[in-house]
Amino acid sequence: MTSIIPVILCGGSGTRLWPKSRKMLPKQLLSLTGEQTMLQQTLERVRGFDKPIIVCNEDHRFMVAQQAQEVGFKNFTMITEPAGRNTAPAIAFAAIAAANENESANLLVLPADHLLEDVEQFHRAVDIGLEKSMSGGLITFGIVPTAPETGYGYIQKAAGEDDQVRPIAQFVEKPDKATATKYVESEEYFWNAGMFLFSAKSFLEDLGEHAPKIYQTAASAMENAKVESDFVKLKLDDTNAIPEDSIDYAVMEKTSRGFVVPLACGWSDVGSWSSLWEALDKDEQGNVALGDVLMEDCKNSLVFGEDHLVAAVGVENLVIVDTKNATLVAPKDRAQEVKAIVSKIKTAGRDEHVIHREVARPWGKYDSIGSGPRFQVKRITVNPGASLSLQMHHHRAEHWVVVSGTAIVERDGEEIMLSENESVYIPIGAKHRLRNPGILPIELIEVQSGSYLGEDDIVRFDDVYGRN
């Protein structure tokens, strides 16, 4: 049986879907178009292929692993990047890992954050491209356009008689409306969706020829990486030495063996709130309501509520997104401009583009429910069998009150068992750790007090998750 290894590119921050998508919890790890996250949906569509390779940001590794395991993918290789360098290096890492096992293996490269409605049609397109891939071709899947979109790059097919697979004539940048209309009317152009099929050997050969610096530095980074079972951790210095570039610029626009396979499968990159609105089912007035939402006399709008009621009256063509610590209101046709707000947040030195109020951790999660001068209150959930690191703080003391469950607290070598309604005080400088020995989650309230309450005031002495 021909080997096809899915390569899932799980980087990116999805800033155009802010405030729901943020650096520490980007759109590929969110449930936006169904119960499963976008990563999980991507994994589902490659079920039955060989063991996947997932390339992700180091900060997301625990969430990625958990989400993969939740949908039954326990056998996969994860390559973690301490800094993103765009798609060409990310694919190079995966190709090098695959080539170490079988250089003739075919790599099916997919972004983790796209929507495909017709998976059977997608599989048929993969079958069509496989023959060319096995003979050394580099295949991209061109989405048959349904409208003259100006937000996508396009791929022009070369002349030929085979309508199922054609040589690539050229890649073109995002066009204006008039040019996009001509492209669609000509039936010679496809949307560039960033999905590929090629052998590890063919890709690395072309990468070495057309982008030798990327090839050499990526190979060096993989050689120096820390490998634990199927977990490959790249080093920051090695990653920073790699030039940033996309696979399109580095390889596909330069190769002499590129081919395009047309694909009509209800595809969307879900790249903005307006495209999410287009992708989801709507009510009779054209509205999409996500979460706890009430709407009165509204039309063609998307309203999202995270943890409390959001009500809208008499609005039309709006996007309203409410989260625990940020709210977005924008005309639907200007949803792409959310990136400008994210840039302003960064410039102002704020952190709402990075984290939500509720933050995932390998052991569970915490929600910052209140703060003021010299104090902060968090609601903490610790999963069954999980443990926080053995740590200390230079600038803050902590008071833990158990709301539900049973905790074992280690404080300066002393072990303390806490049950519901019991508490413990952790002075500044005390070595401490909390673990959950039970089969149910622990819920506790943490009250921090001190001169500095930042998350970077943590000195770790031991951590089961390998964090520094």
* Whether residue 417 sits in one domain with residue 334: no
Sheet holding 390-392, edge to edge: 414-418, 407-411, 432-435, 390-392, 459-462
Which residue type occupies 188? E
Give the mean model confidence (pLDDT) for residues 30-42: 95
Query: Given the DSSP bridges, would you call strands 226-228 and 231-233 parallel, antiparallel or unpaired?
Result: antiparallel
Give the CATH number for residue 160: 3.90.550.10
Tokens of 367: 């929600």
Q: Is the dihedral of CA 324, 326, 329, 334 positive or negative?
A: negative
Claim to verify: residue 38 and residue 22 sit in the same structural domain:
yes
Residue 403 lies in a domain: yes
- Tokens standing for 119? 């998976």
The pLDDT assigned to 113 comes to 95
- To the nearest 10°, report the CA torsion of 138, 146, 40, 36: 180
Q: Which of 205, 236, 268 is the last residue of a domain?
A: 268
Nearest to 78 by CA among 70, 246, 69: 69
Residues in contact with 91: Cβ distance below 8 Å, sequence separation at least 6, in sequence order: 7, 9, 55, 107, 109, 196, 203, 247
**φ and ψ at residue 221, rounded to 5 degrees:** -60, -40
Clarify whether residues 107 and 27 are in a common domain: yes
The answer as to whether 306 is a domain residue is yes
> What whole-number distance in Å separates Cα of residue 217 and Cα of residue 326?
40
Q: pLDDT tens digits, residue range 226-278?
A: 998 778 999 999 999 999 999 999 999 999 999 999 999 999 999 999 999 99
DSSP string, 243-256: PP--HIIIIITT-S
In a domain? residue 353? no
Give the mean pLDDT of 208-228: 97
Residues 102 and 237 in one domain: yes
Residue 352 lies in a domain: no
Q: Name the band, by pLDDT with cuts 50, 70 and 90, for residue 1.
A: low
Domain contains 467? no
Average pLDDT of the chain is: 95
- Is the Cβ–Cβ distance between 122 and 265 less than 8 Å? yes
Q: Are residues 261 and 279 in the same domain?
A: no
Tokens 């802010």 belong to residue: 18
Do 392 and 332 share a structural domain? no
**Domain termination site, one of 268, 299, 324:** 268
pLDDT at 141: 98
Q: Are residues 185 and 211 in the same domain?
A: yes
Q: How confident is the model at residue 344 (pLDDT cuts 50, 70, 90)?
A: very high
| Overall average pLDDT of the 356-384 stretch | 94
Residue 237: φ, ψ to 5°? -60, -40
The reply to whether 324 and 368 lie within a common domain is no
Provide the domain count of the chain.
Answer: 3
Q: What is the pTM of this model?
A: 0.92
d(CA 2, CA 354): 42
In a domain, 386, yes or no: yes
Task: Identify whether residues 25 and 51 lie together within a single domain.
Answer: yes
**Same-domain status, 167 and 142:** yes
Residue 382 lies in a domain: yes
Which CATH number fits the domain that encloses residue 402?
2.60.120.10
Q: Which range marks the domain in which residue 325 is found?
A: 273-347
Quote the CA–CA distance of 275 and 332 in Å, as a whole number.
Answer: 9
pLDDT band at residue 466 under the 50/70/90 scheme: confident
Mean pLDDT of 52-63: 95
CA dihedral (450, 455, 457, 461) positive or negative:
positive
Residue where a domain terminates, one of 298, 327, 347: 347
